[in-house]
Amino acid sequence: MPLQLSIATEDDIPQITKFQFAAFHPENRMHRLIYPSPLPVPDSIISSTIQRTLKAWREDKEHITWVIIKDTDTKVKDLFGDGKEKDRVIAAAKWIIWPPGETLKEGETRWPDKIDAAWVKKSDDPEKPNFGNGAADDKEYVEWVMEEFFERRRERIVGPAVLLDVCCTDPEYHRRGAGKMLVRWGTGKADELGVKAFVEASPEGRRLYESCGFMMVEDVVLRGGKVNKKWEEYGEPDWGFMVREKRGKN
């Protein structure tokens, strides 16, 4: 079963989106806030998430690179794409790269200080509510979580850098080295440029990132009940803010 790393095209996003939900939903609290969905995840949510992902990519192709791992021995029909038979994509990473020498234009910012969580809607089917103790239906709560998330990026990811924004593997292919291949692609790019690398790690991913040279900066746990009493039962979104110091170029 040869695994092959390559740069993704837009045609790969439908396959990526499907196993992204399989990898993260509903266990990962941040994922179910950003991509609220009932269980099982309906085709309508997969399709709308594909469009969200493509929109974000098209708006910043200068900085965003999607990298994928394929199982070249396995062919699949991509039911959310063009329906043609293709190599199976089994893992993917979204790297955002800001090279040395690049400066922000006047009024431009990498990270917003205010979020409009327009994607947060109640489930279309009252018999199948969004998963997550109501939190995925609460726009105000999701905006607070996302503003806390981006505040840390604004404070820490400045100047030249690379950021691992998304990294996921099809659950059928866990522990076969695909994730490490994707992370090493990005750390190699960081070393080539001589810049720091960053990642917001899920608890499950921290060991992988540590093995690739990342160190914990902050173990983030958001306790909404301390901010707003009605958020007390919404769980505690958590992640590890990690950095890999610059290597390579002086």
Phi/psi-derived region of residue 187, left when phi > 0, alpha when psi is between -120 and 50, beta in every other case: alpha
Is residue 131 very low, low, confident or very high in pLDDT (cuts 50, 70, 90)?
confident
Domains and their CATH numbers in the chain? 3-244 (3.40.630.30)
- The pLDDT, as a whole number, for residue 103 is 82
pTM score above 0.85: yes
One-letter amino acid of 223: R
Q: In this model, does residue 135 exceed pLDDT 90? A: no
Give one DSSP letter per residue of the chain, joined into a string.
Answer: --EEEEE--GGGHHHHHHHHHHHHTTT-HHHHHHS---SSPPHHHHHHHHHHHHHHHHHTTTTEEEEEEEEEEEEEE-TTTT--EEEEEEEEEEEEEE-TT--PPTT--SS-SS---TT----S-TTSPPSSTTGGG-HHHHHHHHHHHHHHHHHH--SSEEEEEEEEE-GGGTTSSHHHHHHHHHHHHHHHHT-EEEEEE-GGGHHHHHHTT-EEEEEEE--GGGT-GGGTTS---EEEEEEE---S--
Q: Name residue 216's amino acid.
A: M
Q: Which of 78, 64, 101, 65 is closest to 16 using CA atoms? A: 78
| Confidence band, pLDDT 50/70/90 cuts, at residue 250 | low
- pLDDT at 120 exceeding the cut of 80: yes
pLDDT digits 0-9 by tens, 109-118: 899 999 999 9
User: Residue 163 above 80 pLDDT?
Assistant: yes
Q: Do residues 191 and 248 lie in contact, with contact meaning Cβ atoms separated by under 8 Å?
A: yes
Output the pLDDT for position 132. 65
Please give the Cα distance from 142 to 135 (Å, whole number): 7
- State mean pLDDT over 203-220: 96
Q: Which of 101, 99, 102, 142 is nearest to 119 (CA)?
A: 142
What whole-number distance in Å separates Cα of residue 38 and Cα of residue 61? 31
The pLDDT, as a whole number, for residue 138 is 87
Percentage of the chain lying above the pLDDT 90 cut: 79
Cβ-contact 220, 240 below 8 angstroms: yes
Q: What is the mean pLDDT of the chain?
A: 92
